[in-house]
Structure 1
Amino acid sequence: MDSKKKGIIFMWIAVILWGISFVGTKIVVEYIPPLTAGFFRFLLAAIALMLFFRKDIKYTKKEFFILSLTAFFGITAYFLFENSALQYTTATNSSLIISTTPMIYLIINDIIKKSFSHKIRYLGTFIALIGVSILVLNGKFILKLNPLGDTLMIGAVASWVLYTLFLEKLEHLNSNIVTRDINILGSIFFIPLVFLELKTSNTCPIFSLWLQPKIIIALIYLGVLSSALAYILWNQAIRLSGSRTVTNGIYFIPVVTVIADSIILKNYPNIYAIIGIILVLGGTVIAELKQKASY
């Protein structure tokens, strides 16, 4: 198996883990404040990665600075923007805005590298974006714009784009160790946010409820599988298959969520969901017809 195919397999596993993670997140945030839940999630991920990967990298000052930026944007800032945005805007708006990430990344990456992708890749990425839009809107074009919430979600998109760009600068280092250190730093950056969240909360958290079996199981899934393992696979996928290809995997997250919803909760997709899934699959295939080209 060549490295590109291996990378795509890694991408698919990460996407599946992230797609299912929405169920675990929904369970956890019913009892634990969002940012605090994010801290515990990545703390568990950091602990799991430290148990499996014990070697260290002697980072140069420049490398450690880039590593810190990668951790901040890919973990702390992304989840800060996303969780905050969901308090003001709708899930539909959030999903649509996040779905623009592959397109925005493609444009920004091409501008930075001054090596523009073939128009076929842009066409395929745009078709996949339309597919996600149909999937999310579910035939009901009802968008309630919220300037604050939508702007915060755009911040999440920008954070993930920056995370990917900074991560590429660390490709010469051991990916597993880098992923471990990203989770450690991301957890540390969460700490002041957790204190602020718990201090400003209108209600005192009922800590005994945090120890319920379903909360513990959900946190373990989010930390060990959806964060530790998924980030390792995603970062490896970027190295093996390229960031342009792997970033398009974001389109498949809502697809996985729809499939998981129909299997677990018996909420079967309607015609709009089926059309959306077909367009996502077709658009992604089209985008891969031309890997690299310049005008």
Structure 2
Amino acid sequence: MKQHIGVMMLMVTAVVWGSGFVVTDIGLDYFNAHQLMAGRFLLAAILLLIIFSYKLKQINKRIIVKGAILGAILYTGFVLQTVGLEHTTASKNAFLTAVNVLIVPLIAFAVYKRKIDRFEIIGAFTALIGIGLLSLQSSFTMNIGDILTLLCAVAFAFDIFYTNKFVQNDDAILITIMQFVSAATISVIVVLVRGDIPTSVESGGVYAIVYLAIFSTIVAYLFQNIAFKYTTATQGAIILSMESLFGMIFSVIFLHEVLTGRMIVGAALILLAIIFTELKPTFGKKQPNLIKPDQNP
């Protein structure tokens, strides 16, 4: 029963994150990437501290360290993704971000020396072809936005991997709170150092920040981090990859993006690669969980 609840929470997260690509694109009409992130993370951190103030006395050094690590990874991923979105489309941003699912097994190999099997190799090559169709221009080059988005996929792969690891033996809500306090602190410092404090704020920008803070940040990450107590990193990754599909759908509906046949084929190959790689136990011997029991950092 708990596993089913975890799956449903991750599905909600995927839908919300899919809509987040569109809202972020709209928010970039009012703020630059660093301002937008500082706004969403700061508001999310404040709201989480207020809502779960009764739990703060349970925070210990281990949770603070785990939250700080996840917050730094999260900030890195979002800054690459959001700056990348300034130079590419929301639908391409969504699908290139989804490549993080294919990177999770590579992290497992690097950290725990887990063998990479043939399904993951086939999936990686399929995704590579899809990325080429989706992003390569006629001159066989990728624009800077697509490159930054691919780098963000690496950061989010680490976020998935270590979130699944960290929440096994500690309170997922407290880790989430510290994660966003960390991300908010980093993002505000960056804005201050850059001298990017906005002098005026329009209502459209405020709505974007509120939506991203409440739904794409608080609701989505609480659901993700709690759900990872009842699912493996592999199960979570495949469900969360559906955000790319929802991102494309919302981009077409609300941003009126025009998708070419080549882009659709590329996106389909990336999604197929993710599903094929993560459903490999269906085709052969069941694979062990990617994550070992939690260890104190």
TM-score (normalised: structure 2) = 0.77
SS in 2 for 1:188: helix
Q: 1:143 to 1:96 in 2, by over 3 A?
A: farther
Instruction: Please give the per-residue CA displacement for 1:58-88, whole angstroms capped at 9, x wherever unaligned.
Output: 45544422321111111x222223334456x
Structure 2 counterparts to residues 9-88 of structure 1, below 5 A: 9-54=8-53, 55-56=55-56, 58-74=58-74, 76-85=75-84
Contact 2:10 2:240 in 1 (8 A): no
Q: 1:72 to 1:273 in 2, by over 3 A?
A: same
Equivalenced residue count is 281
* Residue in structure 1 matched with residue 279 of structure 2 by the alignment: 288
* Residue in structure 2 matched with residue 248 of structure 1 by the alignment: 238
Cα distance in 1, alignment partners of residues 154 and 57 from structure 2: 28
Contact 1:73 1:162 in 2 (8 A): yes
Cα distance in 1, alignment partners of residues 58 and 2 from structure 2: 30
Instruction: Please give the per-residue CA displacement for 1:165-206, whole angstroms capped at 9, x wherever unaligned.
Output: 332134211112211221122101112101123x2x6xx945
SS in 2 for 1:171: coil
Structure 2 counterparts to residues 76-225 of structure 1, below 5 A: 76-85=75-84, 90-91=88-89, 97-116=96-115, 118-120=117-119, 123=122, 127=126, 134=133, 136-137=134-135, 143-145=140-142, 152-153=148-149, 155-167=151-163, 168-197=165-194, 199=195, 205-207=198-200, 210-212=201-203, 214-225=204-215
Task: Measure how far apart 1:97 and its partner are.
Answer: 5.0
Cα distance in 2, alignment partners of residues 108 and 276 from structure 1: 24
Contact 1:57 1:177 in 2 (8 A): no
SS in 1 for 2:106: helix
Q: 1:284 to 1:82 in 2, by over 3 A?
A: closer
Task: Measure how far apart 1:119 and its partner are.
Answer: 3.3
Q: What stretches of structure 2 of length at least 5 have no aligned partner? A: 290-297
Cα distance in 1, alignment partners of residues 142 and 260 from structure 2: 25
Contact 2:95 2:245 in 1 (8 A): no
Q: 1:124 to 1:150 in 2, by over 3 A?
A: closer
Contact 2:22 2:254 in 1 (8 A): no
Instruction: Please give the per-residue CA displacement for 1:71-111, whole angstroms capped at 9, x wherever unaligned.
Output: 1111x222223334456x64588666534321122122134
Cα distance in 2, alignment partners of residues 159 and 251 from structure 1: 15
Task: Measure how far apart 1:47 and its partner are.
Answer: 2.4
Cα distance in 1, alignment partners of residues 228 and 159 from structure 2: 12
Counterpart residue type for residue 185 of structure 2: I
Q: 1:101 to 1:142 in 2, by over 3 A?
A: farther
Cα distance in 2, alignment partners of residues 191 and 265 from structure 1: 29
Percent identical across equivalent pairs? 19
Task: Measure how far apart 1:231 and its partner are.
Answer: 0.8
SS in 2 for 1:115: coil
Contact 1:103 1:126 in 2 (8 A): no
Cα distance in 1, alignment partners of residues 199 and 216 from structure 2: 25
Instruction: Please give the per-residue CA displacement for 1:143-185, whole angstroms capped at 9, x wherever unaligned.
Output: 5346x76665454233223323332134211112211221122
Q: 1:85 to 1:24 in 2, by over 3 A?
A: closer
Counterpart residue type for residue 42 of structure 1: F
Contact 1:35 1:190 in 2 (8 A): yes
Task: Measure how far apart 1:258 and its partner are.
Answer: 2.1
TM-score (normalised: structure 1) = 0.77
Cα distance in 2, alignment partners of residues 127 and 246 from structure 1: 21
CA RMSD of aligned residues (A): 3.4
Instruction: Please give the per-residue CA displacement for 1:235-278, whole angstroms capped at 9, x wherever unaligned.
Output: 22333221122223453223112222344456576655665565
